[in-house]
């Protein structure tokens, strides 16, 4: 081959590289680069120009999306969350959103998917003796509820530790009971895809910072809506305080009080409990900043709000969630939806926007759907019942209580 032809071939190959590396709207998100210490770097400063359109074309656009009608209240002027969404929990209508499909680190809000996936698999009265191996891989600096090796815990106790204290130790034990971390990650990924939460890429079941682990405000809201159709999920995320098993001296077991780290529920950190709050999950890590999905009810109206990574102090994620809930209740009937929370794949998916597609996954995040389809069918039936006008059976009263600082979640 002549030198001229060789140069042309090299140039042609170089021109093809960008197109080969382009990530389609529904493909698995690339892992963020490492910062030299084995930790992923912060997400880009701004959202991508093109995002998923699952749930509606407007939800794939960057920036605030809202369609006010006559008399609609203005959105709160002080919102700083990189991504947020306000949705009607019953109808699935998205009332307003900002960068709804931006893939960002989720922190412990990932535990909502963990719970929605595993709750149907593990009987709550099952008792398990914890081994040292089950706690060996809990991430350094993790938030812990205080699970100890060689002691017995019921599944019910462990779920309280997950929801109230965001205990990564409890997550690892429950994952072991499900067949291990790798299987649990596969199960969670399969369930996310069944729910059409296609921005979500699971690496660690507890939400611990990991390269490539992402979700979105849209997905977290979709997952919360699915979880809230399960009575046990509602019970755990709606519990303000509980007694957790401690040390055991002979036949006598000690207990200590644990309180929910959801400040809109307990009023911790100088906040007032939000009227009608019923959960669901908060998180805070170095990579994710503060994240929170909350649900509240007033009269027959049930809202879901997710806020990801606002600026400001430790209370910002709760204050912005409360402001968006207030706006959503005031905006009832005064805004045109900008999209919808789609039903699971196994239900009718004819809806706003482009249909969801399955991600291409790395081997560690791919796998079968053990137990996922049966649970998804139940979720689908619940979702359709909600659209038809059904209601949740939420606990609505939560006593205030003090809280203990977790190690990993930076005072969520």
Give the C-alpha separation, 79 to 19, whole Å. Answer: 36
Q: How far is CA 379 from the centre of its chain?
A: 16
pLDDT at residue 396 tops 90: no
DSSP 345: T
| Contact of 324 with 76, CB cutoff 8 Å | yes
What tokens does 231 get? 């009575």
Give the C-alpha separation, 89 to 386, whole Å. Answer: 8
Cis status, amide bond into 280, omega within 30 of 0: yes
Catalytic, out of 28, 143, 166, 226: 166
pLDDT, mean of residues 111-117? 98
What tokens does 369 get? 């759907």
Q: How far is CA 7 from the centre of its chain?
A: 50
What tokens does 248 get? 């055991």
- Whether 108 is a known active-site residue: answer yes
pLDDT, mean of residues 1-19? 40
pLDDT at residue 20 tops 90: no
Catalytic, out of 28, 61, 111, 143: 111
Tell me: the pLDDT tens digits for 260-290?
Answer: 999 999 999 999 999 999 999 999 999 999 9
Tell me: the pLDDT tens digits for 170-212?
Answer: 999 999 999 999 999 999 999 999 999 999 999 999 999 999 9
pLDDT at residue 28 tops 50: no
pLDDT band with cut points at 50, 70 and 90 for residue 312: confident
Tell me: the pLDDT tens digits for 125-182?
Answer: 999 999 999 999 998 888 999 999 999 999 999 999 999 999 999 999 999 999 999 9
pLDDT band with cut points at 50, 70 and 90 for residue 19: very low
DSSP 49: S
| Predicted pLDDT of residue 314 | 85
Mean pLDDT of the chain: 80
- Whether 369 is a known active-site residue: answer no
Which residues are CB-contacts of 108 (< 8 A; sequence separation ≥ 6)? 143, 166, 206, 207, 281, 282, 283, 284, 285, 291, 409, 412
Catalytic, out of 108, 142, 240, 316: 108
| Predicted pLDDT of residue 44 | 65
| Predicted pLDDT of residue 350 | 56
What tokens does 68 get? 């006010």
pLDDT, mean of residues 73-79? 96
| Predicted pLDDT of residue 409 | 36
| Predicted pLDDT of residue 43 | 55
């Amino acid at each position: 081959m002549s030198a001229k032809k060789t140069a042309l071939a090299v140039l042609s190959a170089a021109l093809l590289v960008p197109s080969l590396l382009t990530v389609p709207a529904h493909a698995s998100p690339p892992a963020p680069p490492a910062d030299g210490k084995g930790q992923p770097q912060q997400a880009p400063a701004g959202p991508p120009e093109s995002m998923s359109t699952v749930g509606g074309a407007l939800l794939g656009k960057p920036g605030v999306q809202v369609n006010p009608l006559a008399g609609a209240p203005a959105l709160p002027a002080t919102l700083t969350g990189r991504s947020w969404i306000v949705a009607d929990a019953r109808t699935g209508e998205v009332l307003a959103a900002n960068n709804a499909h931006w893939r960002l680190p989720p922190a412990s809000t990932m535990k909502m998917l963990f719970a929605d996936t595993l709750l149907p698999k593990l009987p709550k009265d099952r008792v398990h003796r914890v081994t040292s191996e089950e706690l060996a891989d809990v991430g350094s600096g993790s938030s812990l509820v205080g699970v100890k090796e060689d002691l017995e815990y019921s599944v019910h106790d462990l779920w309280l530790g997950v929801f109230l204290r965001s205990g990564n130790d409890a997550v690892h034990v429950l994952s072991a009971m499900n067949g291990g971390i790798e299987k649990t990650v596969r199960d969670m990924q399969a369930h996310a895809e069944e729910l059409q939460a296609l921005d979500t890429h699971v690496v660690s079941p507890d939400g611990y910072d990991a390269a490539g682990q992402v979700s979105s405000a849209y997905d977290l809201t979709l997952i919360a809506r699915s979880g809230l159709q399960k009575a046990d999920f509602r019970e755990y995320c709606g519990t303000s305080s509980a007694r957790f098993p401690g040390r055991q001296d002979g036949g006598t077991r000690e207990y200590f009080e644990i309180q929910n780290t959801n400040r809109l529920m307990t009023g911790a950190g100088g906040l007032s409990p939000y009227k009608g709050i019923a959960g669901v999950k908060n998180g805070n890590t170095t990579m994710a900043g503060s994240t929170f999905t909350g649900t509240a009810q007033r009269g027959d109206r049930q809202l879901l709000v997710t806020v990801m990574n606002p600026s400001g102090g430790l209370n910002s994620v709760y204050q912005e969630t409360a402001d968006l809930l207030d706006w959503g209740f005031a905006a009832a009937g005064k805004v045109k939806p900008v999209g919808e929370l789609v039903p699971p794949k196994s239900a009718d998916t004819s809806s706003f926007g482009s249909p969801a597609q399955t991600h291409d996954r790395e081997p560690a995040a791919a796998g079968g759907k053990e137990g996922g389809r049966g649970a998804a069918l139940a979720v689908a039936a619940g979702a359709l019942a909600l659209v038809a006008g059904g209601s949740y059976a939420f606990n609505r009263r939560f006593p205030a209580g003090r809280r203990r600082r977790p190690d990993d979640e930076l005072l969520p």
